Structure 1
Amino acid sequence: MQNTGKITRDSLMTLEAYSKYRKDNKPAIMAHRKLRSVRLGEFINLQFESETTIRYQIQEMLRIEKVFEEDGILQEIEAYAPLMPDGSNWKGTLMLEYPDVNERKRELARLIGVEDHMFVEVEGHARVYAIADEDMDRENDEKTSAVHFVRFELDPAMCAAVKAGAGVKLGCDHTNYPAHTTIAAETLASLASDLR
């Protein structure tokens, strides 16, 4: 799977080519996904997306659904390509992971708006709060969703600081889930590669 900076129909593999590629390369892709996954407290996991993770997601959906016609391929690209960072931001899939169904139901009711309380803080700069769920609203008056899509928009000074080695915290200041963590150096190195 070759990264090109833009996912197009022509830059994706055929189902047959992907099937062969997948056998040899799935462990490396899973390691990349794990590297870009940051746990915040016990129940929040933020998967920072990249061209590699989004290409993999599209190829997997095409494989699982056996899609080979152009319209179907373009629909998958349209659904997932907006989640790819584009040089001045980090984009991610925010997952609230409560294994127990009763606890999940209770906590999703307590965590309405949590996606708007997620932030990154580049050392020496102000917090940047997530812009969440730009494609559709994922909560109602009774509960939030267990999955949200978030974008952290960084200014040029923040991008330069990250590329120069500044530390970055990921946090949440929701009343019912206050937490923060320093993003590990190896994860931050991968995230820095997303920035221009």
Structure 2
Amino acid sequence: QEMIRTERIVDPQKIQEEQDVYNVWLPQAGELSATLFIEITDPVNIQSLLDSFQGIDRSDTLSLKIGDQTSFAVFEKGHSKEDKISAVHFVRFPISHALEAQLTQLDIPTFLVISHPNYQAEVPIFWEMRQEWVSDLQS
């Protein structure tokens, strides 16, 4: 919707084309989808800093850690090459019924984890976001 409004697209065929492009990123049953945006605010070093994230789309780099279980992100292909990486990545997290059940339990900690040689982070996912995720998984 945003792109259609922003670009003032009114032709029904063009609207359908836009929908077809973005609808593939709606999550399927048993998964959550997200956009990973690598924001670099230093305009002088943007390319070298972005290049330092090479390999972030490996299968073991980005994950959701729910209690003692982990769901690794599945990256859309085509956003990085051996010598170049995009700042935007589309990812999916497969969520089993067991993981979904753990998301509903407030006493089980949940984190978004990035484990890359040049960047490590572990960010807690708070209850309000978890409730939204569970709602998404159940719809």
Tell me the residue number matched to 1:124.
Answer: 68
Structure 1 residue ranges, 4+ long, deviating more than 6 angstroms after superposition: none
Tell me the residue number matched to 2:118.
Answer: 176
The structure carrying a bigger helix percent of its residues is: 1
User: Residue 132 of structure 1 aligns to which amino acid in structure 2?
Assistant: F
Shift of 1:120: 0.5
1:111, 1:143 within 8 Å by CA — same for their partners in 2? no
TM-score norm. by structure 1 comes to: 0.64
Give 5+ residue unaligned stretches, structure 1: 1-58
RMSD: 1.6
1:86, 1:194 within 8 Å by CA — same for their partners in 2? no
User: Residue 96 of structure 2 aligns to which amino acid in structure 1?
Assistant: D
User: Residue 133 of structure 2 aligns to which amino acid in structure 1?
Assistant: L
1:67 alignment partner, SS class: coil
Percentage of pairs with the same residue: 27
Give 5+ residue unaligned stretches, structure 2: none
1:132, 1:149 within 8 Å by CA — same for their partners in 2? yes
Question: Aligned partners of 1:110 and 1:148: how far apart in 2?
Answer: 15
Tell me the residue number matched to 2:23.
Answer: 81
TM-score norm. by structure 2 comes to: 0.87
1:99-133 CA-to-partner distances (Å, cap 9, x unmatched) read 112332112111112133111111132x2111101
Tell me the residue number matched to 1:167.
Answer: 109
Residue in structure 1 matching 2:40, options 86, 98, 102 = 98
1:124-161 CA-to-partner distances (Å, cap 9, x unmatched) read 32x2111101xx41112223111100000111111122
Alignment of 1:25-44 (within 5 A): none
Question: Aligned partners of 1:84 and 1:158: how far apart in 2?
Answer: 20
